[in-house]
Structure 1
Amino acid sequence: MDRHDDFREFVLARQQALMRTAYLLMGDAHLAEDLLQNVLTKVVGHWSKLSRDGNPEAYTRKALVNEYISWRRRSSRELPSADPPERGTSHDNATLDRIVLRQALAKLTRKQRAVIVLRSWEDLTEAQTADTLGCSIGNVKSQTHHALARLRVLAPELAELRIPEVIR
């Protein structure tokens, strides 16, 4: 048995969920893959301690968010359009809602976007989100409030939708 077998099993079991989080944070599949790869490269170095003493998934999620917030290699930044595509016959409403939401998410600060992803898509509690971000619960509440207010301004047409349902 190889010393990295446990890590491989963890990655195989959690890769899709971690990739989804990376994608929601980055807004680009290729950048999300790069982000996740960077994080997993760092996590494998701590694996023996994590698998023995810690919560590897929580640690990996926290590392993913921290790496996203400090990400420097964003040469192909998302460039949201000021105008969403016209509602026509070629796209259904759910597709247009996803486009509008992605454009609005791209305009949030990194911490606001991270809070929305962790709270809305990862379904973390305020305490878990605070732990992941390394901040207070009050800061999570404040960031969530400001992020949702900003999303309401940027995409008022999404106000009646539950945000996680839009992305699916």
Structure 2
Amino acid sequence: MDRYEGFHEFVRARQQSLMRTAYLLTGNPHLAEDLLQTVLTRVASHWGKLAKGGNPEAYARKALVNQTISWRRRRQVELPGAELPERAEPGRPHDEATVRRLALSQALAKLTPKQRAVIVLRFYEDRSEHETAELMGVSIGTVKSQTSYALSKLRALTPEEVYR
């Protein structure tokens, strides 16, 4: 029996979803690829245990969050924010949706790693407070407080038009 039996199928089935989460956590497609590769390596090394009775997707998502926080803590990787262009090219006005997306991306980049993780898990992945707490390895109270702080900071950093 192959030690990695089922791993390739797991990666094929969940890679896109995990990549979206990695991108939202890092804000950079290249860092997201590095993050996902690092996490999938870790999942592969624990595959035997995860395949028998664990939850490989939950493990991978928790590892994405933890690795992002770890990178930021060690300042090994600077997670960039989106830069808003100074002005549109002549004859090409900015698309309103694009400007809103860029403003929100820039604001997300200014959140702490835990705040950003909470926003991604709660609002992008539509996870419950309990699921988010479990994935992050924190209490439900921490999820609630980090969500509150993050939303307050986002409101302060972004123009009102973003929430239309």
Question: Equivalent residue of 2:6, what SS?
Answer: helix
Unaligned stretches of 5+ residues in structure 2: none
Secondary structure at the counterpart of residue 108 of structure 1? coil
1:98 corresponds in structure 2 to: 101
Root-mean-square deviation (CA), in Å?
1.9
* C-alpha displacement of 1:106: 0.4
Deviation of 1:11 after TM superposition, in Å, equals 0.5
| Aligned structure 1 segments of 4 or more residues deviating by more than 6 angstroms | none
Do the aligned partners of residues 52 and 78 (structure 1) sit closer, same or farther apart at CA in structure 2, a change above 3 Å counting? same
Aligned length: 159
Query: Could you say if the C-alpha distance between residues 129 and 158 of structure 1 is closer, same or farther in structure 2, counting changes exceeding 3 Å?
Result: farther
Match of 1:36 in 2: 36
Report if the CA contact (8 A) 2:7-2:47 is conserved: yes
| 2:105 counterpart SS class | helix
For 1:80 and 1:4, the matched residues in 2 are separated by 38
Identify the residue that residue 70 of structure 2 maps to in structure 1: 70
TM-score, length-normalised on structure 1?
A: 0.87
Given the superposition, is the C-alpha separation of residues 11 and 158 from structure 1 closer, same or farther in structure 2, using an over 3 Å criterion?
farther
Does the Cα contact within 8 Å between 1:87 and 1:96 map onto a contact in 2?
Answer: no
| Distance apart, 1:86 and its partner CA | 4.7
> Partners in 2 of 1:101 and 1:148 — Cα distance?
11
CA distance, structure 2, for counterparts of residue 105 and residue 148 of structure 1 = 10
2:134 paired with 1:131: yes
Unaligned runs of 5+ in 1: 162-168
Match of 1:116 in 2: 119
Deviation digits for residues 55-102 of structure 1 (CA, Å, limit 9, x no counterpart): 111111001100011014315x41555x66557843211111110000
TM-superposed deviation, 1:108? 0.4
Is contact 2:103–2:162 with CA below 8 Å preserved after alignment? no
Matched, 1:61 2:64: no
CA distance in 1, matches of 2:95, 2:36: 31
Report what 2:14 is aligned to. Answer: 14
User: Take 2:93 and 2:52, find their aligned partners in 1: how far apart are those partners?
Assistant: 52
Contact 2:115-2:146 within 8 A present in 1 as well: yes
Alpha-carbon spacing, 1:106–1:128, altered in 2? closer, same or farther (3 Å):
same
Q: Which residue does 2:144 correspond to in 1?
A: 141
Q: Deviations over 1:121-155 (max 9, x none)?
A: 11111000001111100110000000000000000
Counterparts in 2 of 1:115 and 1:5: CA distance versus 1, 3 Å: same
- Report whether the alignment pairs 1:151 with 2:162: no
